[in-house]
Amino acid sequence: MAETILEVRDLSKSFGGVHATANVTLDVLHGETHAVIGPNGAGKTTLISQLSGDLKPDGGSISFKGRDITSLPAYQRSLTGMARSFQITSLLMGMSVLDNVSLAVQAHDGHSFRFWTPARKDRKLRDKAMQSLQVVGLQDRAGELAGALSHGERRQLEIAVALATEPQFMLLDEPMAGMGAEESARMVEMLSGLKGEKSILLVEHDMDAVFALADRISVLVYGQVIATGLPEEIRTNEKVRDAYLGEGDE
């Protein structure tokens, strides 16, 4: 059995009276793709934001590579090898595609108190950034403004930026959101290429994608994990069918 890279214990977060995260306990193993599914409003994005450090939990603990990171700010989590992609695309629209990725490379290449040498001519940054763009297939769009990309391309750029930080663990918040069937298929193919190499916590609505990629699946309903298991176990789980897969099946 592989070691765990991420351990979440009794994580809680409330907004007013709503328990967006209610005593969530979850493990991600080294090299595993662990999917979190659940109906809208189940608290999936809230969970991701707490794991990435953008939101402070009310209680519980998160440890990453054996170290307690519950109170670590987002930028330090990134520096310890965690990356996040956003559900609602969050890029620097006024900068070029290559700039977006190269900023991510730069963040992990020592401090940025370098005031004099032009960063856009820095081969070290640009080459590494190009490699990440190649992984997602955006190398031909490097010079475009991020704002000029199509929706699908922006989703790909999100992944490229995350990859450029050379993470061991990636939090992917609905990478397929709003994509057409063809684009989704390409994204699934790309993500399966990362399988094994990166540990991934994947939140996704597209069930075909989830069952194609996930090693294990956790089901989140009203902030609670109601089941965790192998894909075939989840598919046949009574509770899950009642709460989620049964009704309507998106």
Q: Which residues bind other proteins (CB under 8 A)?
A: 52-54, 73-75, 78-79, 83-84, 86, 90-96, 99, 102-104, 106-108, 112-120, 122, 143-145, 161-162, 164-165
- Least distance to other proteins from the beta carbon of 175, Å? 15
Kindly list the distances between the CA atom of residue 3 and the CA atoms of 45, 70, 159, in Å, as whole numbers in the listed order: 25, 20, 25
Least Cα distance to 135 among 166, 91, 168 occurs for: 166
In the complex with other proteins, which residue's Cβ is closer, 57 or 217? Answer: 57
> CA angle, corner 82, sides to 62 and 171, nearest 5?
80
Strands (E), 16-58: 18-29, 33-37
In the complex with other proteins, which residue's Cβ is closer, 40 or 75? Answer: 75
Beta bridge partners of residue 33, listed in sequence order: 200
Beta bridge partners of residue 42, listed in sequence order: none
- Least distance to other proteins from the beta carbon of 229, Å? 30
Least Cα distance to 105 among 54, 156, 162, 147 occurs for: 162
- How many CB atoms neighbour CB 240 within 10 A? 21
C-beta of residue 8 within 8 angstroms of C-beta of residue 27 = yes
In the complex with other proteins, which residue's Cβ is closer, 90 or 192? Answer: 90
- Provide the pairing of β-strand 216-221 with 224-229: antiparallel
In the complex with other proteins, which residue's Cβ is closer, 2 or 119? Answer: 119
In the complex with other proteins, which residue's Cβ is closer, 112 or 236? Answer: 112
In the complex with other proteins, which residue's Cβ is closer, 27 or 144? Answer: 144
- Non-local CB neighbours of 177 within 8 Å, separated by 6+ positions: 87, 155, 205
Cα distance between residue 13 and residue 15, in whole Å = 7
- Least distance to other proteins from the beta carbon of 108, Å? 6
- Least distance to other proteins from the beta carbon of 176, Å? 20
- Non-local CB neighbours of 107 within 8 Å, separated by 6+ positions: 75, 78, 79, 165
- Least distance to other proteins from the beta carbon of 148, Å? 9
In the complex with other proteins, which residue's Cβ is closer, 91 or 179? Answer: 91
C-beta of residue 99 within 8 angstroms of C-beta of residue 141 = no
- Least distance to other proteins from the beta carbon of 159, Å? 13
- Least distance to other proteins from the beta carbon of 113, Å? 6
